[in-house]
Amino acid sequence: MDQPRISVIIPVYNTAKYLAACLDSALNQSLQEAEFLCINDGSTDGSPEILAKYAQKDSRLRVLTKENEGLSVARNLGIAEARGEYLCFLDSDDLIQPGALQAMYEAASPEQLDLLVFDFDLLHDGGPEIGGGRPDAWRRKRHHDGLKSGEAMYVEMLREGDYRCMAWGQCLRRAFLQETGHRFVPGMVHEDELFTLNALLLAQKVRHLHRSLYVYRLRQGSIMNSPYSFAKLSSRIKILLDEAKLALSPELSQDTRECIAAVAQDLLQNTLKIYAGWLPGRKS
């Protein structure tokens, strides 16, 4: 195959129960000029066998096996190995909608966007019920039309309550990531927060596609729904420090700095509220 139009990066860690459905949703896309990079992040369940089976059936799927180092390192490896003009992320317990890759490429490639943001649906699978169980509970309220800088898109969406930080809710030009050197921060739990924010601040050409292209599975035992821990707390502190630095950056517009400062303040208050009664030896 010549250069793929899109590389789909799929980190895999002990998701055997959901992996086949995830891979089927990816490999059955209408866009055939794609590659699928599955990063086996030290799985100890049946995930490696499922990956091997699918790799034998479809040459577009490549399996990279490594020791367990977390989602950020796995995604960074996928970025380094990707060959596509664009790339996107797919968690191995989630799904992508039919026709999603075609829609991403057709929306991003004509103007060589740095970043395309799109919407997604929720699949409730034993996890917390959000929005009364409606699949579209986290969709953006409207189409944010027009070609914008990442800063402008961030400010507009944040002020309207439409900002979403999930890394799998975007499609990025691979050359943009190569030129900027932008990557995930290893060892973080809430790695999407800083990745998406900084990607937008670096991007010059961004559009929003007001269409659900992804299905996020809300389930018990996922990273998002796992108990609080020192790892999560330290990640929140890292985010707060980085956001505080950005809020003081003279390279950003006043509107952008105000938005980042507001987000940091909300995160600080939320963190103090959540962890006040959890920290050992501290009374709520």
**What confidence tens digit (pLDDT) does each residue in 87-127 have?**
999 999 999 999 999 999 999 999 999 999 999 999 988 76
Query: CA 38, CA 17: separation in Å to the nearest integer?
Result: 16
Residue that is written with structure tokens 């018990």 in the block? 220
**Is pLDDT above 90 for 243?**
yes
Q: What average pLDDT does this structure show over 150-171?
A: 98
Nearest to 40 by CA among 53, 31, 57: 53
Query: CA 181, CA 175: separation in Å to the nearest integer?
Result: 10
pTM for this predicted structure: 0.94
Query: CA 47, CA 19: separation in Å to the nearest integer?
Result: 7
Nearest to 209 by CA among 256, 176, 177, 171: 171
Query: CA 65, CA 72: separation in Å to the nearest integer?
Result: 15
State whether residue 217 is helix, strand or coil: strand
- The whole-number pLDDT of residue 192 equals 96
Given a contact cutoff of 8 angstroms between Cβ atoms, the answer to whether 278 and 271 are in contact is no
Given a contact cutoff of 8 angstroms between Cβ atoms, the answer to whether 127 and 225 are in contact is yes
State whether residue 208 is helix, strand or coil: strand
For 270, counting Cβ atoms within 10 Å of its Cβ (0-12 exposed, 13-18 middle, 19+ buried), the class is: exposed
pLDDT band at 283 (very low <50, low <70, confident <90, very high): very low
Residue that is written with structure tokens 């499922």 in the block? 50
pLDDT band at 132 (very low <50, low <70, confident <90, very high): confident
Please state whether beta strands 170-173 and 86-89 pair in parallel, antiparallel, or not at all (unpaired): antiparallel
Q: Read off the amino acid at residue 158.
A: L
Q: What is the mean pLDDT of the chain?
A: 93
Query: CA 24, CA 41: separation in Å to the nearest integer?
Result: 20
pLDDT band at 34 (very low <50, low <70, confident <90, very high): very high
Q: Read off the amino acid at residue 167.
A: A
Q: Residue 142's CB: how many other CB atoms inside 10 A?
A: 11
